[in-house]
A and B are shown apart, each in its own frame.
Chain A
Amino acid sequence: MSRRLRLAVFGLGAVLTGALLVIAFTGLPEFGTSHHPYGDRAVHTAVDEQKTSNAVSSVNFDQRAIDTMGEEFILFTAVIGTLVLLRELRREVEEGEVETELRRSPRGLSSTAYLTYAMLGVTTLTGLYVVAHGHLSPGGGFQGGVVLGTAIHLLYVGGGYRAIRKARPLHLYEIFDALGAGGFVVLGLAGAIVGGDLLANVLPLGALGDILSAGQVELLNALVGLEVASAVIVILARFLEQYAEVRIQGTAR
């Protein structure tokens, strides 16, 4: 395809998409008004019917849980893609011997190390809290999972590549990742068998605002938390591995 033809195709697409966007935006309700037909219904369903005080979580894990299932598998596929693309090639395995010899990266100040170890505890606790209260307050499995997945990387700041490698048996996190994604489907199918609809919220709803309330919302949050935390760890581990190996190659030459 010549440059001119490509530009023409792009121009046509850009103009049509732009026109569609303008038409769509003019049809939207005005910004900042108090008229929210969908929001009102979603909040009513969340609070009055499903006993979920965080209406966003109710939409994500109950009213539209099937969308979240799709999103979860997007992340799962991304992890598999990373694992396939960044798998160890033979040449890199051979260079691995040099790597173990030189991996002792210079450590930072010991005060930095202590601070990061202390922060590791605080951050992990924050992550667990955000996951565990997904049905009650802002956050949930996804947000808490990201916090948990990044928390472990404080070890890299404090103790270097060795410390983080010891702290995360990677194959275990790969299994956790699959368990989180698979558990979501299993719970969804259980809802289909008991309640008649995929991901129907059939668990006891409890009282609004209680830690044990909202039925499946918190259980799904926990599964997503497991999946997201493992996914972040596995993806970053693959990139970190590549980074550490290459740095060693550089010094070896």
Chain B
Amino acid sequence: MICPRMPSRLFIIPLVAALLLTGCQKDEVHAYRVPKEVPPPSSTVETAASDPAASAQSGLTWQAPSHWEELPANGVRRGSFNATNADGDTADISLIAFPGDVGGLAANLNRWRTQVGLDPLPEAEVQATIEHQDTPYFHLDFVNYLGEADGVPTRVAGAITSHGGESWFFKIIGPASIVDAELGAFREFLLTIAPSR
């Protein structure tokens, strides 16, 4: 390979410059003052649910089936329920909100798949598992995955939508026996989700 000879003492100049410039790219810790933020119109302050049948938290309301046991909400979990059958199998129903798109739809659905022992799918394939559902207020991306956890057939079903600058995840997960029995109630429940007034 043809290579021009460079005077040795000159070679150091661009090399040092390159190393110095490479090291200058980290942003510094900085301080500033901003006016207090006004929350978007549809956001409301998070409060603990007091009525098991109708919750109004952080911009959404919903009507949960009466046989679901309501659990306390917390920072990310805006709503939480348990459904239990006669055999003692329990399904966990959660309503969770995170800011932004939380890594994208495919990443979130693959996260659910791994929770029931299924392998993540490529973007196009995971998109094909989505059932698109329109409720009176939202368009939901609904999925239903059957896998296995601890040797027990386990199902996760859930829907994802965006509201108030956040991604909302409505999910039921547990042994397939109880989730299969509660799936109808869960889908009815999804239809009741509405923006709070």
Q: Answer yes or no: do A and B interact.
A: no
Interface residues of A (CB under 8 A from B): none
